[in-house]
Amino acid sequence: MVAKIIDGVAIAKAVRVGIAARAQALAARGIQPSLTVIVVGENPASAVYVRNKVRACGEAGIHSDVVHFPGDATEDQILSRIRALNADQTVHGILVQLPLPQHISVRRLLETIAVDKDVDGFHLYNVGGLVIGQTVFPPCTPYGVQKILEHENIEIEGKNVTVVGASNIVGKPMALMLMQREATVAICHAKTRDLAQYTILADIVVVAAGKPGLIVAPMIRTGAVVIDVGINFLPNGKLVGDVDFEGVRQKASYITPVPGGVGPMTVTMLLENTVAAAERATKAA
Ligand code: NAD
């Protein structure tokens, strides 16, 4: 069996057409969906991610602002700006670009963002909502994976899913979202003994560990769906995921490439959450 390579760029493009249409419908009623990104200090990777978000917003008809604080800004300065943005009715989504400088509490900043503007889905309320299946904004990367599975008509209900990686932003919410869709989910992490005994049983494997070459063909059941969230730069500068792509694609039924798989979906779901925030704000008004 040779896997179908899932084209995340094409799926992202198709989803963004729908998002742009919804943004346009809002604009026709005098409401421009709007996202504010808070950046603290200088981090070259963050600068690239923020530029991508701003560009994607522009293409979808979403207004975006970047509020840039110097690296020595105080927590109070940032918190008071977040409170002002919470009160600003023209702002529908607020996100804090991570990582933050050491002296700033990530949790305090995230908990200050109004729940109905928390388009990254990292506020405790949103995280708790995931547990009971009523989140306001699903976190963008696992939401993007879910969209990919839906787009490819891959059944989730009743399937065995193994999620490799248990971080708060990818692995844990991914597992909760798939459990909500009635999959049987195993969550593995760096301390899991014999990772292969979990992956080999899975109909769907989602890998988000940040370890190149972690998942190789003998660990995968023939015909499994393999979703690679990992982003790793090898010493030679090559960008790869966590899965041995060439080996695993000979055995899987579907596989996402890196780049061009999950990556383009993450920003897409941020746009989706921002437009949804604007639609809800309009209904609530
Ligand atoms: P993280 O470092 O916060 O968490 C990694 C998780 O993987 C941890 O739970 C850890 O225990 C587990 N892990 C590490 N080594 C392992 C091993 N050998 N076996 C099993 N589990 C292991 O990372 P994160 O923020 O969740 O990101 C994971 C990867 O996904 C990174 O490569 C990151 O760059 C990428 N990522 C991609 C996107 C995207 O849009 N495509 C978005 C977010 C993160």
Task: Choose one of 114, 149, 181: the last residue of a domain.
Answer: 114
User: What is the maximum alpha-carbon separation in the chain?
Assistant: 57
Q: Tell me what pLDDT residue 222 has.
A: 98
Whether residues 167 and 104 share a domain: the answer is no
- Tens-place pLDDT, residues 69-118: 999 999 999 999 999 999 999 999 999 999 999 999 999 999 999 999 99
Task: Choose one of 63, 97, 114: the last residue of a domain.
Answer: 114
How far apart (Å, rounded) are the C-alpha atoms in residues 92 and 262? Answer: 25
Q: Is 24 a catalytic residue?
A: no
Answer yes or no: are the C-beta atoms of 172 and 187 closer than 8 Å: yes
Whether residues 175 and 219 share a domain: the answer is yes
Q: Whose CA is nearest to atom 39 of ligand 1?
A: 263
Tell me if 4 is assigned to some domain: no
How far apart (Å, rounded) are the C-alpha atoms in residues 77 and 27? Answer: 32
Where the chain has pLDDT below 50, the residues are: none
Tell me if 67 is assigned to some domain: yes
Tell me if 76 is assigned to some domain: yes
pTM comes to: 0.97
How far apart (Å, rounded) are the C-alpha atoms in residues 232 and 248? Answer: 17
Give the active site residue among 120, 228, 242, 244: 120
Q: Tell me what pLDDT residue 49 has.
A: 94
Residue 51's CATH number: 3.40.50.10860
Q: Is 146 a catalytic residue?
A: no
Tell me if 166 is assigned to some domain: yes
Q: Which domain holds residue 93?
A: 30-114
What is the full DSSP assignment across 124-182?
HHHHHHHHHT--SS--HHHHHHHHHHHHTT---TT-EEEEE---TTTHHHHHHHHHHTT
Tell me if 285 is assigned to some domain: no
Give the active site residue among 7, 97, 117, 251: 97
